[in-house]
Structure 1
């Protein structure tokens, strides 16, 4: 049955799209001054700081083996992707990165099928195949049309696999914990890694004392962490509550549009090959996540876990 959502719900979806879609440009601006490891560490530290008060109040809700699961969530949902995205964008345009990020729901379906025996329909397999065809184009075809393997694009592919593992762990092992608890506590658990680097070998203090641009780059990274990583997740799960997971996950299709548009406004050039690859990925994601007619004997596939968590 078709549902008509109020204007405020659509505005919240657009806000989430702008926040997550602009994350790749914020990484790009942070890399003007800071190294990839500094960008990743600052992003994690600022996100953890925003959610720390909420996480500390919820520590007593964590039971037994949930601690190990939360550590895995922190690693696959925050720590590894933060570094992978930062290193990838030293050689990739922000728009292309945003398009590749749309692979997350495809890998979520694959991980769910391989690790948790979730049923995958023929329609889903076709969608996955289309999405992978688009991925091959983006990973092997350069902006000028030349064919060569882009290793840095593979970093984004690995990051989306990490997101997929993270989403499946949350769905299967942490069904009784709230999203704020999961995100806040998991970020606190990986925060020491970021702090050890920031307080040790990083050169952030010297950069801030010698260049005004360093402060603007720092602002971009802090905005990325506080808004793009921490608060955006709260907004996403708010949409799930007031609308539906399927409606909220439609942000997956809108993020690349924002990322590519901002990239072009910043002087990035998008070739026809890359447009074709992006289109195939988005069409594949849409096809794979359509609600199939699932036999009652099988669990519903992980179609509602289609969000990008940077």
Structure 2
């Protein structure tokens, strides 16, 4: 793990190449997260899934990154708090709630709204300069996401698409989170940011587990034990490791580039959905291709000034 932290914090690799490696890793990890959430909510309530995800992640992060928290300066803790709320606390509950009604692949497609919110809030509140090509790329990617969503709705008529509102709220949080990291925490160690986030939200998570009776039920409930296994995998990879990589990606690239991972994640999520027996169509293939085109345009530089 120490080697992992060194790679994230002080790599000598060219950032232009490294950001694509991070993007690929995050696509694989987060694209696989949705099927894990889907399996977890089969044995646990969405509140317990969210609280467990925070708790397990915090234990892991504290074991490797608690000493990094001292790198955070006092004025920066305000932004650590807000990034914890927007990027960690509320989204884990919102996604778990949404997946009580929506398939994993559908949820991942809705998550593709993150880059759009990143640009909107970046322009409105953070003074982010966005090129016309990036805006075009985001819009094209959004079209691809909509193709995927409507294609999925055709094959999943029994699902309650009103629950997509919870994913929408989570993507708004992610859009705010990435902009705050870039503007206010860009010089802070990536592991310190993520560990600091979980220092703030670990207590509420533990209290939720206590009041929902999780600790009294887990020893006698096999379904909960199986679900716990999925949450542990999700927490270690989909939350702890991935969030450190993501924070570092934001720092070495741009908010728009980093958030474009939400366009590539559905491709992985759809693969897992098909593997798990979910239906898939040629229109979803088309949507995936359009998404990749959008990612290319978002991240292609016309000149040195674009990223």
User: Contact 1:21–1:258 at 8 Å: present in 2 too?
Assistant: yes
Q: 1:206 aligns with which of 198, 217, 242?
A: 217
Q: Closer, same or farther in 2 for the Cα pair 1:103/1:126, shift >3 Å? A: same
User: Contact 1:16–1:251 at 8 Å: present in 2 too?
Assistant: yes
Q: What residue is the counterpart of 2:140 in the other structure? A: 130
Instruction: Provide the rounded CA distance (Å) in 1 between the counterparts of 2:19 and 2:134.
Output: 28
Do residues 191 (structure 1) and 188 (structure 2) align? no
Q: Closer, same or farther in 2 for the Cα pair 1:124/1:16, shift >3 Å? A: closer
Q: What residue is the counterpart of 2:71 in the other structure? A: 61
Do residues 81 (structure 1) and 91 (structure 2) align? yes
Do residues 260 (structure 1) and 266 (structure 2) align? no
Of 13-22 and 178-187, deviating more is 13-22
User: Contact 1:21–1:259 at 8 Å: present in 2 too?
Assistant: yes
Instruction: Provide the rounded CA distance (Å) in 2 between the counterparts of 1:286 and 1:206.
Output: 48
Q: What residue is the counterpart of 1:108 in the other structure? A: 118
Q: What residue is the counterpart of 1:307 in the other structure? A: none
Q: Give, in angstroms, the shift of residue 98 of structure 1.
A: 2.2
Instruction: Provide the rounded CA distance (Å) in 2 between the counterparts of 1:254 and 1:125.
Output: 17
Q: Closer, same or farther in 2 for the Cα pair 1:145/1:233, shift >3 Å? A: closer
Under a length normalisation based on structure 1, what TM-score does the superposition of the two structures give? 0.79
Q: What residue is the counterpart of 1:170 in the other structure? A: 181
Q: What residue is the counterpart of 1:180 in the other structure? A: 191
Q: What residue is the counterpart of 2:104 in the other structure? A: 94
Instruction: Provide the rounded CA distance (Å) in 1 between the counterparts of 2:19 and 2:149.
Output: 35
Unaligned residue ranges in structure 1 (runs of 5+): 304-310
Q: What residue is the counterpart of 1:153 in the other structure? A: 164
Q: 2:293 aligns with which of 279, 283, 291?
A: 283
Instruction: Provide the rounded CA distance (Å) in 1 between the counterparts of 2:21 and 2:133.
Output: 31
Q: Give, in angstroms, the shift of residue 99 of structure 1.
A: 2.7
Do residues 72 (structure 1) and 82 (structure 2) align? yes
Q: Closer, same or farther in 2 for the Cα pair 1:274/1:152, shift >3 Å? A: farther
- In the alignment of these two chains, the number of paired residues is 289
Instruction: Provide the rounded CA distance (Å) in 2 between the counterparts of 1:167 and 1:132.
Output: 18
Of 282-291 and 87-96, deviating more is 282-291
Unaligned residue ranges in structure 2 (runs of 5+): 1-13
Across the aligned residues of Structure 1 and Structure 2, the Cα RMSD in angstroms comes to 3.4
**CA offsets 1:193-247 (integer angstroms, 9 cap, x no match):** 2111001124453244132x32221010011112211122344567789xx648x
